[in-house]
Structure formats: structure tokens, C-alpha cells
Structure 1
């Protein structure tokens, strides 16, 4: 199939309205500033000879050639010109030198970069990608061109999977246990790394189909980029617990001869994150706090809303502490910047963009602009719009503006009508009835689409699809409107969301291998309380109301005890306590409990072989197990989507 052809039989070409919108963008953006193109290729050493990295499971974990179509044309009207520029920059991959004979990066092997700092006796690895397979391939490329050296330390800059998940591709856990390798992370890393990916992990994975376009085909009409990298690798995710936690705001350490000053930045891009300054190299590692895009204040896959003001403050702290001396700034995404003037320019632009977002959104909110209006009112100042580093690719101006309101004021717009809203499937039939039924809605939607009024078309088509999920013409027209909106988006998070919605409306839930947010290592890393908190989330609430019990749990190898209680349909767990008269008591080493947590063996089997001991009424535990729900990944998002699993109560 030629890349000029749409990958879907019902796909549409860019309309006249979309083509005109792209041309306006081309005329308004500072395309004469090509410094990023010089920086992205600087220090290039080599690319791998292979074209694909295969996963242990047999699927393709990473395809280096998937985005070669980006070089086939300077202008795709199905891609916002600013996004196309970012996508071309992110398509550069291979081994790059950052600081002569001291710092290298492997870029374009995964969503993130992996960085290698030469120490006295080996490598210090910063952020070993998402999967074991891509990280191992990156290390192999480094070894091929720079020589074999042992990895003596790994630094996790923060608690997102694309920065720690590939750790088993660069080190062996036995070397960590022996003390031969250190694993360094910011305070709170382990708690946040596992909680974010487990508690709401299934919902996040499903929403990742939208924000990350996980099952969209790479194509000018499909997936083109993910702003901070091409996409997320689909392989084996792992986790090795840190041996050193950075606790202070600023903390200096010498690791195998390399002097590093860690700057804790909690509450910025991640709840546990840190920058690093290399004073002897005049090099600043910006983690994911400063990349080649304005990031998400609210990430569409789902996560706690971030603090734009704190983000700005932490960049400011780095600017005044390290920015005056820095000669190179590199990060876990995008490409480095060299020269002190250039570094300070980028730091100030991003500092000011986050600060302006926070302050101006609240300025407007304090005058009555609501969460349902702010994205249509807030504007980034022209001085920032003219700087590529202040463009919103991973985030977007509309959803970040709404996020600031949500952080301070919540989701309610203070109109009582929206305080207890009807579910869409309940309200939609009334709208459809008042609009005269499906016929007039479809006719009006076709008229609006022909006029390029895609958002207005989605307003009425969305009501019809909810009211009559089997109405295929409505789904096809809504998909068409979604697709044109997607083509026009500068942010791939928005583009992917609209295009993924169009794909599911047309064909149902796509098949294919998707990135995973969890794995056995992450489950084992849960504290015992976190594990039972996750079981509480999995409980079928209707069934749980029929059972109540109190249980004591003791893990002798860790010296911990817990009381677990089910009452009123809620499962609660308290560490450091024990009930005086429990219904059941279980004694099991944490090491054996972890085998049950990962599904390697059942609790019943552990009781049978003597690895666990039970006193009291064991039937309550069996009944508890019967009440646990396995969450379906393919649950329905858009109504009437073929192949999706309907969610109870919708």
C-alpha cells in the first residue's frame, strides 16, 4: 500500500477545510528557526544494522522503519505541519555523543532515551527505557561502538514505566543484591511506580489506545509521533528496587568517580522525579521536566493532575542553580541543547509557559470562566508561540488549561444542572427526540461536515450514537468528523485520540500487541497493603455485601502484621495491628505471598505444601477469591463499538 493511500477502506482524505487549516499553520509558525535540526543530529555515531527489535514473546517490540514515510513529503495535509516537524525530528535514531568521551545517548529505540555516563570503571545508565528487549539492544549498540564496560549504576529519573521498565536489559538483579551495582531513584519512587500502574492500570491501558494511538497504523493518516518519542515499545517490562533513595531537595554524591548533584522535583512531570547536575562536565540532565515540548498537566491516559506552578518553580530553581554554568542540557526525551545561551533560552521558555498557564487560567477562573469554557478562552502569549520549545505536543493547550481549573476547583462548573448530570445514554434519547430523530440529525451533520464545522457535527452525532448505538450511518459520520479534527491537531495526544475513536467507530476494537503497564516485577514491588488495596478494587461490590470477616495476616520474614476486614462491601487493610478475635489468621512469609500475588501459585497450594499456615475459618478466603473480578482490557469506550466488552451499568 502506498503511503498516499489511507490504511482504512472508510478513511477520508483531508478535506478542503482541513487543507486550509494546515496552510494557515504553515504560514504562522517560525519554520526558519532550524536549530533543532542541527542539534538532533549532533554527535551522531551509528545506527543498528537490524531493522527490528523482537520481543521475547515473538512480536515486534520496535520497528525502526515504521515511520520512513515521513521523509516522502515535506507537506502532508493529513498532519499538522508543526507536528510533522516534531515527528521528523523524533525519527532520528541511533548512538549519539553528548559530552566528548563522557556522555552518550541511544535515542529512537523506545519512547524515551537511555543515557550512558562513563565512570571510572564502567557505565552509569540513566533511564533504561520501557522494555528489557529495547534496553538490551541499546546497550549492545553502545558496546559495539564504544567497547565493553560493566554497568556499575542505574539511575531512574522518575516513576514512569518508560524510564525503568527495561532495567533487566542492562543489569542483573544478582549484581544489585551483591552490591556490585547501585540503583538510584528519587524519594517515593517505588510507591508511585507501582501504584500508578496497578490501581487504575487496566483503565489506563485501555485509554492508552487513544492518547498513544497504540493500535493505529503508522501512516500519514494514522500514527505519526508521540511528541516525546515515536511510540511505546511492546516488550517485557521489569523493575528492580532502588538501593539508594535521594531524599533531600539537593543531594550530592560521587558514584564510581562521577560527581552528581541530584535535584528532587516532586509534583512536576511525575510525583517522584529528579534532575541531575554534573558539575565537572557542566552538563545538566533535565529528566522529563524539560524536553522539546510542553508536557501534560493532565495526561489523557489517566494520572493525577500535575501542578503547573510547581513545575515552573522547579525549572526556575534549576535555572538559577545550574543554568548559569551549564554548557549542555540533555534529557530522557528529545535531543540535547548545547551552549549556555541556548540552554537558558529553553529553560526560561518552558518555565514561563507553565507559569503563564497556571496564572492566567486562574486569573480567568477568578472572573467566572469555567472548566467548560477555559480551553476556548485561554491563549498562550505570542512571544511563546513563536518558540518551538514552548509548543504543546505531548500536552495540549486546551486540555492543560482545563487541568489547571480541575486541580484548583474540580470538575464542576458551578452550574447546578451539571452537578448531578445524567449519563450520556440516559440524556441522549431526549436530545434525539427533540431534534426530530435520526434523519434530521444525519442531514444536519452532513451539512456541517461539508462546511468544515466538525466540532458542531460531533455535538449532535455523539448524541445520536449514544441514543441509537446501532445506527451505522451516525457512527460513520462521527468517525469522519473525528478524523478531520484529528488531522488538524498539533498535539499527537489529541490527534491519536480522535483517530483512535474514528477507527473504533468504523471497525470495532482493533487487534494487535499493545504496550503493557505492569508485569510480575511491578506486582512484587507492591507493599502488602497496596496488594490488598488492589484486591479491594477488584472486588465485585454486589457480591461483597454478602460477606463480612476479620482476618489477621503475619509475614514472619519481614516481621509485619496486618488486620484485613471486609464489611459493608469494603475491604480495608491496616499494617501494624491485629484483631483480638479474628475469623481467620494466616501466617506466610512475604516471599511466598509474592508467588501468590503474581499468580505463580495459589494460596491453597501454599497452604497444602506448608508454605502458609491458617487458623480459623478458611472458607471466607475462598469466598473472597470468588468475588474478585478480572478486568477486561477491551471494554467499550464509544457506544456500539463492535468487539468491545460492554461495561456493566453503562
Structure 2
């Protein structure tokens, strides 16, 4: 079962050459109903989780003290948009709100502990001049009180949640104006709610400044464009969008509960931090900025407020091992650079800082504890980097290092080094991939058969589907879930109609989910199990298709993405050249097709077949589904000169992407 993608930047880019207006997206779904077909934890799963209770320092309760420190008020349990639709709810995770509740057998107790902490909701006092609203979205929003107003750091995913957080802050603090906004990095949960806290007119007039690291706008938009359809679909697994919130379903993502589903907005920064170290006075406070590119985000920065002795290390230092590679799909991150930037922060501010806070989780207080936290974070990423390369230089391969690397005891006993969001296994493989790529050097793996063809041969060699299922049942009873999943995956890809194989594979994935410490791993396993049993069914997914994102999307990026959509069979043997003239922004482009390849360059060319004259405003309206291409042609918003029909000819060569494509079946 498939549904055309309509949520996300990817669709907006494709709408430039789509004849139909955008339909409502997956993000408008009302939610996920329980299946009733989930299984209990097996004896093997129960033992794995019980053993973990003995291995980890659960008697250490410092994080619970820190996470509750400074609590003022919970605030809204549900946040709605202008139409009355709920875009954020902590009620769905009510089963996690008793801090003394022991982990059920169906949840890794370390992950359960983490989600109890991240589900603490409301306004918290960080210090005399700094406040945070936590668990109003995937991330935190921070309010820093300056001399005459408020500086807002990382205004969440949605305007609705950011607005509600600001109102909660004002309920307990003086209602001083917002003087500045800081985007610590280029991920959507750190800028998407900006219109909930400031008016763009105040930004344009100079009343409000917005600070961001170099490369912010490009990276904020680009990451989700070129591979955005696949990335967004995989994100529906990563954040458990297809799962019910429950002890046998979605318990959160380790970094936070989940993402809100409100209006994603963007206001372009007014001040870009472009130097490695840069000082600014913002509303009377002395900020020292540190650029940390190619860490948790390609565009990211830390900052220190001298007057408050307060350090923010963005998302590079939190209470989890983060992703060196995101399971939704993203470029691999540089673990050595990550560790180095954290160490630079230690050298610069380590002897001064009295409070460390960030856009996720809870703060750390006290200089000694801050230095230890920073050092262990640094060493977690550096250890992974060094040990993977050590093993790789011994000849071990990408999948071997994922199973071989283990943290030393000093880091294993450090809660913040645990993989609630990332994991040792996939981060180790990410380091290998960063340096050596996906190929492990074995020529037998150089050109494998594609999954369906290869699976049919595997099953044939293994004695047929019936034999494999019988063997898998025995291994399942022995708790060998990883192997059962690997073996039955071949049966399912050889014959996707074999429901017995799909059900047993679902059972194995489910047990793997129940013991996973990483929130995304759990969500992937349980999402796969659900779809094996019930098929692919659309569910609520974040909708990043906002006007702000569209309006700030470079035209060249849209044209580049158009080339990604080109179907080479439809374009075979064809040549054309089309000029684009965007009169309101004075930008000229030419796209040209030959060799089944679509290129673009700046400027118009005299030998173009067709020239299309329009405005960026019209383009935005087409992309947002407010105007159809045909209507724009009729009313003159789009004018075409030269050979008629070339525009439609090119449109006919472009693929439309399906969002709800299969993942666990062919």
C-alpha cells in the first residue's frame, strides 16, 4: 500500500513541475490505533533485560535530581493549532510519568530510565537569568534574560509549541520583549517554531536579531531535499510514527519523546557566526561563540555567556551517545572533529563554567561535574573513532567492528555515554564508512545480487521456505532473534506473500525491539514488526512543508532536485533547453537535457527552445499547492515564449515519489 508523499520539502520541490495541487499529507493523520497483535516479552528477552539491571549503575540517581531541579510548572499537556488539531500531547506518554515505575519486561530498563527523565515536562529554572521549557517538543526551548529583554535559543519544531512555551515562561517571568533568537544548528527542531516567538517584521526592522552558524540556511534546507522522500519515510520508523505510544510500542526516541506536528517556520538569520571564535554583545550580555562545523550537524556552534558563566554546547553534548550516522539516512558525521570541538570548549571555558545546558535533556551544574561531563562526551566519540580505525587497520570489516567495539568500563558506567539515540554498533560502522565506505574489501561482496533475486537463491539453497521456517522456529525458541531475523528476511523477500514467515520475522524483530537500548533501534524493530503483520498503513508524520521553508529554498536547489526526478528511459534520445526568468528576484537560469541528464546553469541562453518568465512568488504558490501550473499559464503569471510544449514535455519525464514505500517487504 503506497501513498504519494505530500509532507516535506521534497514534495514542494517536485511540485514545480507537477500538474496537480498538493494533497493533504501523512502529517494530518489522526494517529495510530493499537494492533492487538503485539506479543509479550519472551523468557530470553526478560533475562536480557534483567541482566542489564545488574550490570548498570541504576543506584546512581543524580540525573533524576538534575532533571527535576528548578521545576516551576508543567503547563499544557496538549497543544493545538489554530484549527483545533492537537499538534503536541504529553498525555500519550502518560505511562512514563511515574518516576518510580519499574521498567516493564518489554522495554530495555536503561532506555526506560532515559525516557522517564526526558518526559519530565514544563518550565524549569536553570539559573537566576535562564529558564527552559522541556518536553513541549522533541527539543528544549531556552529563555535567556538580558538587560532589557529575552534571548530565545532553539525555538522547537513548530510555531504552536514554541508559542505555548513562551506563554508559559511569561506566566512566571516579566513579559519583556524578545530581543534575539539563537539557532544553535541547522536541524528543524532548533528553528522550526521561530514564528511562535518573534514577528518577522521586528526582525526586518532590526528590533530582533537572529544568530546562526555559517552555512545554516543552506544546510537547514538541503539535507531533506535530495534524498528527502526516502529520508522522511525512514524517519517514520526512527521516531515510531507508525506505532502506538505504549509499553509494547513507542516509548520515545531517546533524545526526546517525539516530534510535534505543527507549523514549521523559518526566518532567515540576520547575523551569521563565520569565524572559529567570535564575540558579540546581545542585549547587554557578552556572548562568546565557537563554530563547530561537521559535528552533530554540518552547521553548528557552541556559546558561552560570560556574565552568567553559562555554557551551551548545542547538541554536541547531551545525556546520550548521539548519532554519528542517523538511521533515517544522512551524511556520516566526523567523530574526530566532534571530539576535538568539545575539547576546545573544555580548554576555553572548562575552568569557568558553572552551568552547562543544551537544546535536549537537562542541565549539569558545578564546574567539576561540567568538566567531567564534557571530557567523557569527548572521549566517547574519540574512543569510537580510534578503536574502529584500529580494528579496520587489523583487517576487520564494517559489520565486524559494529559487533566488536565496546566502551571501557569508565564510559560504560557513564549514563550519558549510552546509546539511547545513537548506538555503539551503528556509530562504529559509521566511523568505518566515513573513512573506508560501505565496501568491506571482500570481492564476494563487491557485486551481490539485489535483495529479491538473492533471497530466492538463498531460500533455494537453504532447502526451501518451509524448511527455513521450521529451523527459524527452533532458533526463535532458543532466543536467537538476530539470526532468525536475518534468515527469515530472505524468505520474505523471496516470497512476500508468505504470511507465516512474515509473522515469525515480526516476532523476532519485536523481541529485538524489547531489548534495544536505543530509542530509534526499538522504533525500527517494532515498526518493521507492525508492517509485516498489517502491511504498510499511512500514519502521522512530521510535515515540514511550510511556506517559510519554500520561500527560502534556493531556486538552484529546486532545479537540482528536478534532475533527481528525471526518468532516464523517458528522457532517452531527447534534447531540450529551457530558460527561466524570475523577474521579481532578478534571477535567470537555463536547464538543458541531453544524454538522459538534466543540468542547470545561471543565466539565459540564446539557443533555448523555450523561455519561461514568471516570479518567485508564483513559484512559491505552485510549490505550496495554492496555484496550479495550468492556472498560472492562463492568468499570465507564467509566460512562455519560443517552442510550445517543451515545458510539458519535460514534466512528462519526471518521476513522482511514493512516500509509503515498502521497507520490510519487496
Q: TM-score, normalised by structure 1?
A: 0.94
Q: Measure, in 2, the Cα distance between the counterparts of 1:606 and 1:16.
A: 64
Report deviation, 1:372: 2.1
Q: Measure, in 2, the Cα distance between the counterparts of 1:591 and 1:84.
A: 48
Report deviation, 1:608: 4.1
Equivalent pairs, count = 632
Q: Measure, in 2, the Cα distance between the counterparts of 1:87 and 1:266.
A: 29
1:74 aligned residue:
102
Secondary structure of 1:580 counterpart? coil
For the pair 1:464 / 2:505, whether they are aligned, the reply is no
Q: Measure, in 2, the Cα distance between the counterparts of 1:604 and 1:462.
A: 46
Q: Measure, in 1, the Cα distance between the counterparts of 2:566 and 2:171.
A: 50
2:125 aligned residue:
97
Question: Pick from 431, 436, 461: which aligns with 1:409?
Answer: 436
Report deviation, 1:514: 1.6
2:324 aligned residue:
297
Report deviation, 1:58: 4.5
Secondary structure of 2:169 counterpart? helix
Question: Pick from 616, 634, 648: which aligns with 1:590?
Answer: 616
1:633 aligned residue:
659
Q: Measure, in 1, the Cα distance between the counterparts of 2:583 and 2:275.
A: 33
1:580 aligned residue:
606
For the pair 1:317 / 2:322, whether they are aligned, the reply is no
Q: Measure, in 2, the Cα distance between the counterparts of 1:260 and 1:606.
A: 48
Question: 467-476 or 606-615: which moved more?
Answer: 606-615
Report deviation, 1:432: 1.2
For the pair 1:51 / 2:77, whether they are aligned, the reply is yes
For the pair 1:378 / 2:405, whether they are aligned, the reply is yes
Q: Measure, in 2, the Cα distance between the counterparts of 1:419 and 1:511.
A: 36
5+ residue gaps in structure 1?
1-5, 640-649
Cα deviation, 1:172-210, whole Å, max 9, x if unaligned, reads 222222222212111100001111122222211110121
Q: Measure, in 2, the Cα distance between the counterparts of 1:600 and 1:54.
A: 24
1:26 aligned residue:
53
Maintained 8 Å contact 2:278/2:288: yes
Matches within 5 A, 1:42-441: 42-48=69-75, 50-56=76-82, 58-70=84-96, 71=98, 73-100=101-128, 102-441=129-468
Maintained 8 Å contact 2:213/2:300: yes
Maintained 8 Å contact 1:198/1:518: no
Cα deviation, 1:528-565, whole Å, max 9, x if unaligned, reads 11011112222333223354211222334433322211
Maintained 8 Å contact 1:315/1:347: yes
Cα deviation, 1:574-629, whole Å, max 9, x if unaligned, reads 12x43231112233333333333333324454444444443212411122223333
Report deviation, 1:57: 5.4
Question: 528-537 or 58-67: which moved more?
Answer: 58-67
Q: Measure, in 1, the Cα distance between the counterparts of 2:265 and 2:101.
A: 39
Specify whether residues 373 and 168 from structure 1 end up closer, same or farther in structure 2 by C-alpha distance, changes over 3 A only. same
Q: Measure, in 1, the Cα distance between the counterparts of 2:489 and 2:142.
A: 45
Cα deviation, 1:36-80, whole Å, max 9, x if unaligned, reads 1111011111111x4311234543211122222132731311111
Report deviation, 1:359: 0.7
1:643 aligned residue:
none
Maintained 8 Å contact 1:205/1:517: no
Question: Pick from 511, 521, 531: which aligns with 1:504?
Answer: 531
Report deviation, 1:130: 0.4
Matches within 5 A, 1:453-492: 453-492=480-519
Q: Measure, in 2, the Cα distance between the counterparts of 1:482 and 1:193.
A: 34
Q: Measure, in 2, the Cα distance between the counterparts of 1:541 and 1:93.
A: 51
2:30 aligned residue:
none
Cα deviation, 1:393-442, whole Å, max 9, x if unaligned, reads 11001100011111111000111111111111001111111222122111
Q: Measure, in 2, the Cα distance between the counterparts of 1:372 and 1:64.
A: 38
1:645 aligned residue:
none
1:644 aligned residue:
none
Question: 109-118 or 230-239: which moved more?
Answer: 230-239
For the pair 1:616 / 2:642, whether they are aligned, the reply is yes
Secondary structure of 2:272 counterpart? strand
Larger RCO (CA under 8 A, 6+ residues apart) = 2
Q: Measure, in 1, the Cα distance between the counterparts of 2:188 and 2:224.
A: 8
2:9 aligned residue:
none
Q: Measure, in 2, the Cα distance between the counterparts of 1:458 and 1:610.
A: 58
For the pair 1:562 / 2:589, whether they are aligned, the reply is yes
1:3 aligned residue:
none
Alpha carbon RMSD of aligned pairs, Å? 1.7
2:627 aligned residue:
601
Maintained 8 Å contact 2:285/2:306: no
Maintained 8 Å contact 1:393/1:492: yes
Q: TM-score, normalised by structure 2?
A: 0.92
